[in-house]
Amino acid sequence: MIRLPPGRVRCQYPQHKSSRMNQLSVEKIIEFDDTEPSAEVLSGWLVAVGSHQDRQSFSRLFEFFAPRIKTYMQRLGADSALAEDLMQETMVKIWRKASTYDPARAVPSAWIFRIARNLRIDKIRRQKFYEVEYDQESSILPDERDSDPIGTSRMDAMHVTAHMKALPADQLAVIHLAYYEGLSHSEICTRLELPLGTVKSRLRLAFGKLREAMGAQS
């Protein structure tokens, strides 16, 4: 993935069907610092939003995540206008749900990813995303909860990414198709002309390596 150096202005609008709106907004592009803040910094912002509705911290989260959430939505099938709308909706949800964020249970990027993913499934795929709710999670098996402080012992997004880049190309490819294109196993089989068993074993192998790198016990 090509990334621009930090601080570089991107004033080229991507190649969408250029609507009048796009033409008009070409000059009004915000310049962002591209450097990824550490998980601790991101976590601090999220907690500040949750505990005392800190608008400054929210703006910082917006600067880092909003342009990426917009890319995410577009890669998963939204056009530019819908992606902008879903990005805004994701940010609103982040604001509203920030008080439920528990830094001991999830790194900020994972928590935000969940919100973006659920909205994407709801609005682009028009399906329901089933998940165990956080408050429900904490009420289940309380004796087992203390065994693994998720998040605190796990690594920054950057480190996971570094390990991901070390994966063999064929394993990386199936991960990309699942996460960045939202393809189901059978759709990946069709796309890559591979049997189901091969697709599943590539995902399994990649996940095993990443979990090991993340310090998980198997």
Partner 1 sequence: MNRFHHADDSTLMAHAAGALPEGLSLVLTAHLETCQRCRERVMDAEQLGGSMLSELVPDNVSVDSLDHIWDRIDKSECLEEENPPVGNVAGLPAVLAKYFPDGLDNVHWRMVAPGIRQSIINQVSSERGTVRLFSIAPGTTIPHHSHGGTELTLVLRGSYSDEIGRFGSGDLADLDDSVSHQPVADTSEPCICLIATDERLRFTGMFSRLFQPLVGL
CA dist 46 and 55 (Å) reads 10
Q: What are phi and psi of 125, to 5 degrees?
A: -85, -10
Which residue's CB is nearer to partner 1, number 47 or number 120?
A: 120
**Torsion 135-49-7-69 (CA) sign:** positive
Q: Do 97 and 115 touch, CB atoms closer than 8 A? A: yes
Q: Do 119 and 90 touch, CB atoms closer than 8 A? A: yes
CA dist 214 and 192 (Å) reads 28
Smallest gap, in angstroms, from Cβ of residue 157 to partner 1? Answer: 4
**Torsion 169-175-179-182 (CA) sign:** positive
Smallest gap, in angstroms, from Cβ of residue 169 to partner 1? Answer: 16
Note every long-range contact of 69-73, with CB atoms under 8 Å and residues 24 or more positions apart, other chains counting. 69/112, 69/116, 72/116, 72/120, 72/180, 73/116, 73/120, 73/124
Smallest gap, in angstroms, from Cβ of residue 176 to partner 1? Answer: 8
